[in-house]
Amino acid sequence: MCLGVPGRVVSVNGFSAVVDFWGVQKQVLLHLVDEPVGPGDYVLNHVGYAIRKIPSEDIAATLAMYDQLLDAKPEDLMRQDIEGEVGASKGRP
């Protein structure tokens, strides 16, 4: 899907990062992102790769948008796509 999902970088090891998605931690690769990324940064991710660092002023609005999409009914297609991207449907606080 073309949305991608935002997540918070927990740690970075070379080109590999651990990223937190609503409490689910996953490994994400950093080869495609065009800015340096460190712990605490938010990145937009697609199929296991970070594709963009989210500017700090856009983080709150971006997360709020996804929170609302994830609040939809389980059969909602946008929610399903986001959960598919995270690769886990559980662990959301």
Partner 1 sequence: MSAPLRTLEFRDPLKAKQLGARLSEVVDQVGREPVSVMHVCGSHEQAIARFGLRSAFPKKLDVVMGPGCPVCITDVPEVDEAVALALQGVRVATYGDMLRVPGTVKSLGDVRGEGAKVEVVYGIDQALELARATPAEELVFFATGFETTAVATASALLHDPPPNFSVLSAHKYIPPVMEIVTEMPGSRIEGFLAAGHAAVITGSNVFEQFVRDHGVPVVVAGFEPLDILAALVRLTELVRDREPKVVNMFPRCVTAEGNRVAQEQLWQVFTPTGGQWRGIAHVPNGNLRLRDDFARFDARRRFTIDVAKLWAYAPPRLLGQCRCGEIMSGSKRPSDCALFGKACVPESPVGACMVSTEGTCRIWHQYGGHLDLRSVS
The site for partner 1 (CB under 8 A) is made up of 1-4, 7-8, 15, 20-22, 27, 29, 31-34, 42, 44, 46-49, 51-52, 55, 58-61, 63-65, 67-68, 71-73, 75-78, 80-81, 84-85, 87
Closest separation between CB of residue 67 and partner 1, Å?
A: 7
Give the type of residue at 31. H
CA distance 45 to 47: 7
Closest separation between CB of residue 13 and partner 1, Å?
A: 14
Separation in Å, CA 9 to CA 13, 27, 72: 11, 10, 26
Asked if 26 and 87 count as a contact pair (C-beta separation under 8 A), the reply is: yes
Closest separation between CB of residue 11 and partner 1, Å?
A: 16
Q: Is 46 helix (H, G, I), strand (E, B) or coil?
A: strand
Closest separation between CB of residue 75 and partner 1, Å?
A: 7
